[in-house]
Structure 1
Amino acid sequence: MMKKDDFLEYEYDKLSDLFDGRLILLVTVTEIETSKTRSVLTALDSFNKVLKVSKGNYTYYIGKFGKYGVALVQSGGMGSISANASIITIKTALDTIKSSIVIMIGIAFGIDEIKQNIGDVLISETIIPYNSKRVGEEKNIQRGMEKPASTLLLNRLKNVSTWEYLLEDGVKAKSIFTKILSGEELIDNKSRRDELVSIYPEAKGGEMEGVGVSSACDGIADWILIKGICDFADGQKSKEKKKRQYIAIESALSLCMELFNSDTAFKDKGIIPYSENGISRENSNAINYNNILFEVYDPHKEPYYLERKEDIEFNQKISQYGIWVYGDTGSGKSNLILRNLIKNQSNYISIILGACVGQKNIVLFNEILNCIQEKTGNNSTYPNHKTFPICCKAIKNELEYHFKGKEIVIYIDEIPINSNTEYKQFVISLFALINAIQLTNGLGKVKFILSSIHNPITHIARNDQKIHQYLYFLPLKYWESADIESLIKLIKEPIQCNLPQPVQTKLIKQANGSPRFVKKYFKNVLLNEDRSQSSLFQKIIDTESELKQSGNA
C-alpha cells in the first residue's frame, strides 16, 4: 500500500493547466489493481511526489507511468452499471481530467486452463455484453452489440515486440488479443463459463467492467482493456487467490509499461512524453484541428465552444423545467444541449431516434423505452408494445422503479418525422407521457430535453396547456452576425489562418447565421495550401456548393 508520505495532496483547481487532454486516464477496480498500479507511478517533473487530487466522489493519483503523464482512478464498484461502477466512474473522470485515451488495467478470468496461464494478458479487440439478451418462449436471443476497442491502441499494442514477462517455471507470459466477455456476474462456475464460451467461442476470457468502459468512452475517448488472467472461472477462484491476482496485475502492468516507454505511441492523439512543467515545445505547437472544428461536443472541445445568450437561457430554465429546443438544421441545437448537460454534470439518458426514420410513432416510443432499459440494465427483452397507452405505462414504470426521487434527464434527439400529421401525433403522445410521469409520485425530478427542427408549440391543444408547467420551449434561430464573427475569431487564431477583412465580411454574409457553414469553410481552407485572397474567396463558393448538394445549406 502507498503510504501517506508517498504522495502529495493537491487541490484540483490548482492543476487546471494539466487537464487539457495530455493526461492518459488509467482505470482500476479492485484494491490490488489500484495499489499495484499506484506503486509504479513516479512524480511529474515539476513535483517531487505523485499527486493525490480529490474531486467530487473520486480521488485521482497523478504522475508519470513510463514516459507519459497519467491520472489513475479506481472505479467506485465492480461491474458496469451499478451505482459508482465503471460507467459512472469513467464518465465523471473524463469530464474532470478531460483525457482522450482511457486504459483499464486489471485482472480477468481465462477460459482454457490448458492453453492459457495465470499471468497471460488479455487485450480487448471487442467487448461482448453477454447479459444483454431477449428472452423468448423457445430460446434466448443475444442482443448485446459488440463494442470495438480503439484501433489505434490495438495497433500500438500489437507492435510491442520487445515485451517479455516470466511466469513461474520460466514460462513467458503471452499477450492475447481477443474478444472479451463482460457482464454483471462474478463467474466462478465452470458450467456457466462453458455455457458462455459455447455462445461466444471466439472470446478467450471475461470480466465485469468492459461494457461500462466502452459506453462511457463512446465518441469521447479511445479505450482498451488490458487485463491479466488470475483464474479460470471454474470454481477454483479462491485457490491461491491473492498470489494469482498479484501475478495477473503485475503481468498486465509490465505490458503496459512497455507501451508507455515508447516515444511515439500516442503521438497521433496529440500526446507525447511528459516533459518539464508538463509542456514540450512540440506539444505546445501541435494543433488539434478536430477539436477546434468539432461537429459533436465533448469536454475536450470546450475551449472552442462559443457560449451565447441561448446557452445562458438554457441553463436558467433547466433548473425548473424540461426544455424543447427547436430550429433550423445547422443552428447548433444538439451541441447546445449536449454541452450544457455535460457542463452541469447532469445525469442523463441520450436517446437518438434518427435510426427510426419512416417508422410509426409506436416504434419511436418503444425505442425510447429500450434506451431507458439499456441505461438501467433491464434490457433482457426488447420492448414491442402494440399500443401507446401500454408503452407509456411501461416507460413510467421503468422510471419509477429506477429513478424515483432521483434527478434524471431524458434527452431525445433527431426526431425523424417530416409529415406534419405524424409529427402532431408524436407531440401529443409525448405530452401525454410527460404529464403521466409528472403526476406520478416520486418522478417530479424527471426532466425531458428534446431537439427538433419543427416547432412543437403549434400542436399544443387547448387541454394540453399544462405542458408549459413541465416544458420550456426554446427556439434556436440561425446565429446573429456578431456571434458568427466571434466564432470565426475563435477558430482562425488557433489554426493560424489569417482572413483578410473582405474575405471575413463575405464569409459572415454567406454563412447566413450557420456555424456549420463556418466550420465547413475552415476545413476546406485547411485542405488547400494556397492562402491567397482569391483562393480564400473561392473556398466560400465551394463551401456553399457542397452544403447545398448535401441538403444542409
Structure 2
Amino acid sequence: MICLFTNLFNKLKTAISGIVCTWTHNTDSDLKCDILLFFATQTEKEQLEIGAHEFGFPFKEKSNSQIGSYYDLGTIGPNRVLAVKTRMGAFFHKGSASQAIVLQATTSATSIIQLGMAFGIDRDAQNHGDVLISEWLFPYDYRTIEHDADEHQEAEGYRIDYNRTTKFRAKQSLINMFDRERSLGDHTFVVHSGGLLSGGSRIFSQLFLRKLLFRISSSSGTGGFIGGEMEGVGLLAASNKANPVWIVVKGISDFADDQRHEEIIERRPEACLNAVRFVFSALLREETVQAE
C-alpha cells in the first residue's frame, strides 16, 4: 500500500512539474515584461492606443489562455511594456486587485502603472487635463465606524475614525522617474505630485469630498491630496507596503462636483491622453538617464 501510494505521489508530482514547466515556458516566451500598464475604461484604452501611435510604439492586441486579451507595446526605453484592461474599480473578478496579483505573477513585471482619468481636488489650483502622480495612496474605505452615544449611552449617531488608516507610498524609482519627467519634460499641461484618495465610491459630491478630507486630515485644506480615483487601491494587493511595485498616473477629467456630469464626456479623452503622453515621455527619457 505504501509503495502504491509512493508511486501515485511520484506520478502526480511529475505531472504537476510538467504543468508548471509549461506555464513557466509560456510566461517567459509570450508574457514576460518589465512594466504593466493598467487601464479600466474604453476611453482610457482608446487614448492609450492614440498615444502609442503618436510615439511610434506598437499596440498589438494578443490573447493568452491564462490572462485573456492584452496589448503588446514592445520595448520603450529599456523596458518591455504590456498593457492590460482591468474592470473599473478594485473589486470583483478582473478588478485592479485581481489583475495586479495574477498579472504580476504571470508576467514577472517589476512595475505596474495605473493609467487613465481621475478627479481633481481644487478648481482654483488645477485644470482639466492636468496630470496627477501618486506619491502615495490613501485607501479611504478602510475605516472604523463606531456607535456615538451621549452621556446616558443613548444613540446619537455614529463616528468615523481614520486613525488606523495609513498612507501607502508608491514605488520610489517610479516616483523618481516621473519627477525627472516633470522637471525636464516640455508639456502643455501641469503635473501635480502628492496623495490620491482611492476607494470603491464614485464621488460626484463636493460636500462628501470636503467632509472626507476633513475627517482624514482634520483641516479645511487639501491635506496634501491632489485628487482621487478608484483603481489604485487594488494595486496594494500586488506587493507588501515596504516594497511597492505600483504607481498611479492619471489626468484630471472632473472635480467630483455638480458639474462633473456635464464635463466628463468632453474632458476625459484629453485627461487620459495627457497621462499617456506623460508616461511614454518618462519611459523614453529613462533610456537616456540610464545611458548617462
TM-score range, shorter chain: 0.7 to 0.9
Measured against aligned partners, the alpha-carbon deviations of 1:63-96 in whole angstroms (never above 9, x if no partner) come to 2364342110010x22213332110011111122
Structure 1 gaps of 5+ residues are 1-11, 167-172, 273-553
Q: Shift of residue 140 of structure 1?
A: 1.7
1:339-418 mapped onto 2 (5 Å cutoff) = none
Q: Say if 1:19 and 1:99, in contact at 8 Å, map to a contact too.
A: no
Q: Say if 2:138 and 2:198, in contact at 8 Å, map to a contact too.
A: yes
Aligned to 1:234: 257
Q: Shift of residue 162 of structure 1?
A: 2.9
Q: 1:251 to 1:40 in 2, by over 3 A?
A: closer
Which letter does structure 2 place at the counterpart of 1:88? S
Aligned to 2:165: 144
The separation in 2 between residues aligned to 1:48 and 1:28, in whole angstroms, is 17
Structure in which a larger fraction of residues adopt strand: 2
Structure 2 gaps of 5+ residues are 1-23, 149-158, 217-222
Aligned to 1:244: 267
SS at match of 2:125: coil
Which letter does structure 2 place at the counterpart of 1:130? Y
The separation in 2 between residues aligned to 1:123 and 1:34, in whole angstroms, is 19
Q: Say if 1:149 and 1:214, in contact at 8 Å, map to a contact too.
A: no
Aligned to 2:28: 16
The separation in 1 between residues aligned to 2:58 and 2:209, in whole angstroms, is 47
Q: Shift of residue 49 of structure 1?
A: 7.0
Q: Say if 1:149 and 1:222, in contact at 8 Å, map to a contact too.
A: yes
Give the length in aligned residue pairs.
246
Q: Say if 2:52 and 2:59, in contact at 8 Å, map to a contact too.
A: no
Aligned to 1:503: none
Q: Choose the corresponding residue for 2:141, options 131, 141, 148.
A: 131
In the superposition, the TM-score normalised over structure 2's length comes to 0.76
Q: 1:58 to 1:266 in 2, by over 3 A?
A: farther
Q: Say if 2:59 and 2:71, in contact at 8 Å, map to a contact too.
A: no
SS at match of 2:260: coil
Which letter does structure 2 place at the counterpart of 1:159? R
Max Rg structure: 1
Aligned to 1:74: 85
Q: Say if 2:88 and 2:230, in contact at 8 Å, map to a contact too.
A: yes
Aligned to 1:118: 128
The separation in 2 between residues aligned to 1:55 and 1:122, in whole angstroms, is 34
For the pair 1:155 / 2:192, whether they are aligned, the reply is no
Q: 1:137 to 1:37 in 2, by over 3 A?
A: same
1:91-106 mapped onto 2 (5 Å cutoff) = 91-106=101-116
Measured against aligned partners, the alpha-carbon deviations of 1:210-237 in whole angstroms (never above 9, x if no partner) come to 1111222337762110010100000222
Which letter does structure 1 place at the counterpart of 2:51? V
The separation in 1 between residues aligned to 2:111 and 2:85, in whole angstroms, is 16
Q: Shift of residue 16 of structure 1?
A: 2.9
Q: Say if 1:100 and 1:221, in contact at 8 Å, map to a contact too.
A: no
Measured against aligned partners, the alpha-carbon deviations of 1:297-332 in whole angstroms (never above 9, x if no partner) come to xxxxxxxxxxxxxxxxxxxxxxxxxxxxxxxxxxxx
The separation in 2 between residues aligned to 1:250 and 1:179, in whole angstroms, is 21
SS at match of 1:131: coil
Q: Choose the corresponding residue for 2:280, options 243, 247, 257.
A: 257
SS at match of 1:70: strand
The separation in 2 between residues aligned to 1:33 and 1:96, in whole angstroms, is 23
Measured against aligned partners, the alpha-carbon deviations of 1:200-258 in whole angstroms (never above 9, x if no partner) come to 42212100111111222337762110010100000222213222001101111111121
Aligned to 1:388: none
The separation in 1 between residues aligned to 2:42 and 2:61, in whole angstroms, is 18
Greater RCO (CA < 8 Å, at least 6 residues apart) = 2
Q: Say if 1:51 and 1:61, in contact at 8 Å, map to a contact too.
A: yes
Q: Shift of residue 14 of structure 1?
A: 6.1
In the superposition, the TM-score normalised over structure 1's length comes to 0.41
Q: Say if 2:90 and 2:200, in contact at 8 Å, map to a contact too.
A: yes
Q: Shift of residue 56 of structure 1?
A: 3.3
For the pair 1:214 / 2:236, whether they are aligned, the reply is yes
For the pair 1:26 / 2:37, whether they are aligned, the reply is yes
Which letter does structure 2 place at the counterpart of 1:195? K
SS at match of 1:80: coil
Aligned to 2:52: 41
Q: Choose the corresponding residue for 1:83, options 90, 93, 102.
A: 93
The separation in 2 between residues aligned to 1:265 and 1:238, in whole angstroms, is 41
SS at match of 1:144: coil
Which letter does structure 2 place at the counterpart of 1:50? K
SS at match of 1:25: strand
Aligned to 1:182: 198
Measured against aligned partners, the alpha-carbon deviations of 1:107-146 in whole angstroms (never above 9, x if no partner) come to 1001111111001111011100111111112322113221
SS at match of 1:71: strand
Aligned to 1:203: 225
Which letter does structure 1 place at the counterpart of 2:110? S
Which letter does structure 2 place at the counterpart of 1:34? K
Q: Say if 2:62 and 2:69, in contact at 8 Å, map to a contact too.
A: yes
Q: Say if 1:33 and 1:106, in contact at 8 Å, map to a contact too.
A: yes
SS at match of 2:204: coil
Q: Say if 2:59 and 2:72, in contact at 8 Å, map to a contact too.
A: no
The separation in 1 between residues aligned to 2:122 and 2:199, in whole angstroms, is 19
The separation in 1 between residues aligned to 2:264 and 2:75, in whole angstroms, is 27
Q: 1:240 to 1:141 in 2, by over 3 A?
A: closer
Q: Shift of residue 182 of structure 1?
A: 0.5
Which letter does structure 2 place at the counterpart of 1:241? I
Q: Which piece of structure 1 moves more, 123-132 or 194-203?
A: 194-203
Q: Choose the corresponding residue for 2:64, options 54, 69, 85.
A: 54
